[in-house]
Structures are given as C-alpha cells and as structure tokens.
Structure 1
C-alpha cells in the first residue's frame, strides 16, 4: 500500500494537535504524544514538539516557556477549531450536556470537549443565524429540573480535588487524600476509587481504603487535598455501582430489603398511588381518610427520615425482613 505524502501526514498531525490542545489548562508534548499513541498515531515526541512550535506561531496558542516541559493551551478568546456543521438542535444538546455532565464525566474528557461546547455557545449566541437558533436559545429557559426537597447550595470543593479524583477514577489508579470527616478529624488516606455519584448538591466518591475489602462513600467537599498516584490497580470484579446504589448505600443502608407497612393520610400519601415505592406496592383503603401502604424497600436511614417527614400524617409503621420473616418496628406514632 503506498504511503501518504509527508505533507498530508503533517497536515493530519497538525489537525489532531489543534483538536487536542485545551483551553483553561496547559498540556505538554509528552501528554499529547501519549494521547496520539493511544489513538493509533505513532509519532516521535520530537516531531510533536516541532509541530507545536510551528502551531504556536500561526495560531492563538500560548506556549509557556517558564519551565520545562513547555505547556501549550489555546488563548481564552481564540476561535479554536470551529464546528460549522452543528445545527441549532445539536448546539442546544451540547449546551445542556455540558451543564448536566460537568461533574459526572472525567475532567480531562470535559476539557477536551471545550472547543465543541464553546462553538455550541457561539452558535446559540449568534442572532444572525435566524429563527431556529433563537428558538433553541430560548429552550433552556423553558425547562427546569426542580428539587424534591428543600434546595441547598452546593458545598465548595477544594481546587484540584475533582480533577485528581476523576483522573484516578478514569485510569484505575490509587488516590492519596487528605480527608476530614464530619466530626472534623483530618488524616491522610490511600483509597481505590470505584465510583462517583451526585446526590442533590453533593458529590460522593465510592472507594475502598488500602488494606480493606469494603466500600465507603466519601464526600468530595471534605477532601482537602487529592493526588492521583502513578500506581494502577485491577478494578474489583465484584463491585457494581448500580447495585451499590440499589442496596441503599447512598441512603445510609446496608442492602437489607424489608417489607414495609404503614398507614398514611390520603391527602399526604396520594402521590404514592402515582409514584409507588416499589413494583410490588399495594395500597388498601382504611377509611376515615387513611390508607395502608405495603412495599418491599431497602431499609436505610434515608427511609426513616422520609417517614418522619410526614409527621402525624403517618402511623403504625412496621417492617419485617423479606427473608426470613421476622417482624421489627421502625417507627411508631
């Protein structure tokens, strides 16, 4: 098979580098070399360095020469690589995706998409694009995800923590943390990151401490410092984040499923007829404005908080393990 001309190879390499140079942070030639190698493009690091030197002279790319290795990034106001074929609907989807996925995707992956997100924002902000663009720009003001409880402001996360955590989680690498628990006790820990979950305004890291086989959830806003190690680990085959959630672990449960029975005033419990607690939920009319609800759920502190939230509108709350049948009392009013 004939080889492609050197000129075409150089152009393809330049395009790939322009796509991968981020905004807001710097990237080195060595990092770009690894990315291209992972993508199947075999080039020497010196070739990449020469290309970067040339690109920084002809594009709005900053080269930080204060220390080696040099870092490269697009200037904030640079046009970057445009994506002119984005339709108004595609631009809208990218804008919504950026908002809702910014904490749930690896930080480096989000940063590598900066050019697309910026182009989507420019497309939606261009009044010369006509009626369809204006309609797409209006859409975020027409839809909203609303809170199911008292809204809270998100806690602040120390600079660099989310980036280090997401990098370690993505690369299956050990993570070294300076962690302060809810009681205020602060200590260094080494953990195996297994999952990241957003619960309301808070982010939690599911992990295993070094030397232990059980999982814990650490609040990211309580991490004072985080550093991804160079040491990799084999992700445990017996861990499943979906099952961890289904077992009620984010609700301070231990996975024990119980058959819950309680009486609730019709007005307070009407929503349970439309949004049941479980697939096997049963509702029985008790008369006098009350109904009895029976459902198989995960026993957890969150369940008890939810029940107590109804105050005097809930009574006769009992539960028994699904297996074996042994009756216990959760809450009586």
Structure 2
C-alpha cells in the first residue's frame, strides 16, 4: 500500500510539472521547483532534477533537454503534443483566449500561470486552417471593448509587484509595501489586502492599514516594492467589495446618496434616455430644447467631473442629501 501511494504521488507530481513546461523558451529545474511551491507543492531541488531527468529520457513524451551547460533547460519539442486538451472545442478555445486577455490583471498571477497549458492549447486549436477554425480565429478581431473617455496608456507597474499583491490577496496574507503617494511622499506600510479593481488602464488595491479599520485604495503603479508576508489574517466580515464600489469609493465618494437635479441641452443629454443615471431617473422635456434630469446617485468627485464635462450645456445643478 505505501508503494502504491508513493507511485500515485509521483504521478501527480509529474503531471503538475508537465503543465508548467513551456514550448518556446526553456525552464530550469529550479524554476519548476518555484512553480510547484506556488501551487502548494514542496519538493527539494534534487527531487525535481531526478524527475525531470526521467521525463526527458522518455522519447514518448517529447521533452527536449538542453544539457550543454548547467543549469539544464527543458521545453516541449516542436512537434510534441504536450499536455493536450482533446475535449477543448473551438468555442471553448475562443472563450479562453478572450478570458486570458480581459482577466490577466484580475486573477492571481499563479492561477493565470497554472492555466498556461489551457491557453496554449486554445491558441493551437485556433491556429488550424479549417473553415470553422478560421471563423473562430477571426472573432477576436470582430469585437472590441471601447473607451468611454480619452484613452490612456496603462501606467508602468514595478516588476514583481502584481505577483506579490495578488498572492497576498488570494491567500489572505499581510502585505508589506514601499508606497509613494500622489504627493511624492514615500514610506513603508503594512496592509491587509481586501480587493483588486481595474479602473480604465489603472489597477487599485483596496486595503486596510495595520492598526486601522477603514479602507483605502492604493494605485499599484505607485507601489515601488511589495512583499507578501507569511502571516495570515481573517478577512473582515464587515467588508463588502460590491458595496464599496456601489458607494462610489472608486469615484472618490463616501457613499452619500443625493437627489440630483440638473438641466441639460437635448442634444448633449439625449443619451441619458437610453443609459440612465439610476433606476428612478426621470426625464422632463423643457422649452427651447432642454431636458430636466432627476435621479438618485452617489455624490462623488467623479460625478462633479462628469457634470463639468458638459460645459455650458448644463445648468441649474442641485444636489439634495437623502436623509436616512
């Protein structure tokens, strides 16, 4: 029985390793050991080296070993099937391709890395020349997520920051940061990571500073260094990320709801009939091609900027607090 258990454990370890072997570049045993650790599997380097030697010696697998210099590098041979996913349909492949593009910043880095084999297989499935494969491959060039304001390039994030932040967020671990705020003040802080949000081209970490019970949003591009601690924490039961967003916190608000009333030129505000500000929005036609809009919204700096964007096409703005 112990031997059967050891055999099963070695088989599962080999399967996990095979999932991380790349096709285009080479990976060392040390790098594989690190990927195993990220997946929660701890093995000493010598064990990984022995297993890679055995796997690369098997001609059936098609693993190429570069032993011209140490450390040895490993990758799939060009014609090798690797960890092929035979049941992945064209529609599933297309969905995975789109998911990789739009979720790459919103999933923990190690989870995205663990999906590399699926993403690679999806790309290969879409590389074929049959009519259905060509149609599926064309789909990504037929759909776009377009900006609603002036497009901006994403700010640069320091190497390793996203990986450490996502790891700490995923595992509920304290996070040690070297953070420089918008005023240029730089200091070391220890935070409890609670959420990660993408707003346009920017990523924000919602967290609580050690010793405080209120939330703050930190721009990831202002984090100079990040280190996930080995110390864990219990996620606060009184924090709701959906409510945090609904309260307008990413629009620089404090959750205060107001009854907003303003008048806008018909041409400038026509789109509000199709995309209202709230479920209770009311639109009244006025003389001289103006509209009066009334809606319950969260008061925030973003709301003020939005109203100012109309320029002289908006007038008579009134925000009445809603009493609890």
- Smaller-chain TM-score bracket: 0.7 to 0.9
Of 27, 32, 43 in structure 2, the residue corresponding to residue 27 of structure 1 is 32
Q: 1:232/1:12 Cα in 2 relative to 1: closer, same or farther (>3 Å)? A: closer
2: CA distance between counterparts of 1:312 and 1:203? 33
Q: Which runs of 5+ in 2 are unaligned?
A: none
Match of 1:236 in 2: 236
1: CA distance between counterparts of 2:211 and 2:321? 32
Moved more, 177-186 or 302-311: 177-186
Match of 1:132 in 2: 132
Match of 2:109 in 1: 107
Using structure 1 for the length normalisation, give the TM-score: 0.84
Match of 1:15 in 2: 15
Q: CA deviation at 1:123?
A: 1.7
Q: CA deviation at 1:120?
A: 1.1
Match of 1:171 in 2: 171
Q: CA deviation at 1:115?
A: 1.0
* 8 Å CA contact retained: 2:262, 2:317: yes
Q: CA deviation at 1:118?
A: 1.1
Match of 1:181 in 2: 181
1: CA distance between counterparts of 2:168 and 2:84? 31
Using structure 2 for the length normalisation, give the TM-score: 0.86
* 8 Å CA contact retained: 1:22, 1:112: no
Match of 1:89 in 2: 91
Residues matched between the structures, number: 313
Match of 1:252 in 2: 252
Match of 1:215 in 2: 215
Q: 1:289/1:233 Cα in 2 relative to 1: closer, same or farther (>3 Å)? A: same
Q: 1:80/1:30 Cα in 2 relative to 1: closer, same or farther (>3 Å)? A: closer
2: CA distance between counterparts of 1:105 and 1:33? 14
2: CA distance between counterparts of 1:200 and 1:280? 27
Match of 1:329 in 2: none
1: CA distance between counterparts of 2:210 and 2:73? 36
1: CA distance between counterparts of 2:220 and 2:20? 28
Q: CA deviation at 1:9?
A: 6.4
1: CA distance between counterparts of 2:5 and 2:246? 56
Q: CA deviation at 1:89?
A: 1.3
Match of 2:119 in 1: 117
| Aligned 1:1-333 pairs, distance under 5 A | 10-19=10-19, 26-28=31-33, 31-32=36-37, 35=40, 50-58=50-58, 59-60=63-64, 74=75, 80-127=82-129, 130-323=130-323
1: CA distance between counterparts of 2:100 and 2:77? 18
2: CA distance between counterparts of 1:316 and 1:236? 42
Q: 1:8/1:204 Cα in 2 relative to 1: closer, same or farther (>3 Å)? A: closer
Q: CA deviation at 1:287?
A: 1.4
Q: 1:106/1:9 Cα in 2 relative to 1: closer, same or farther (>3 Å)? A: closer
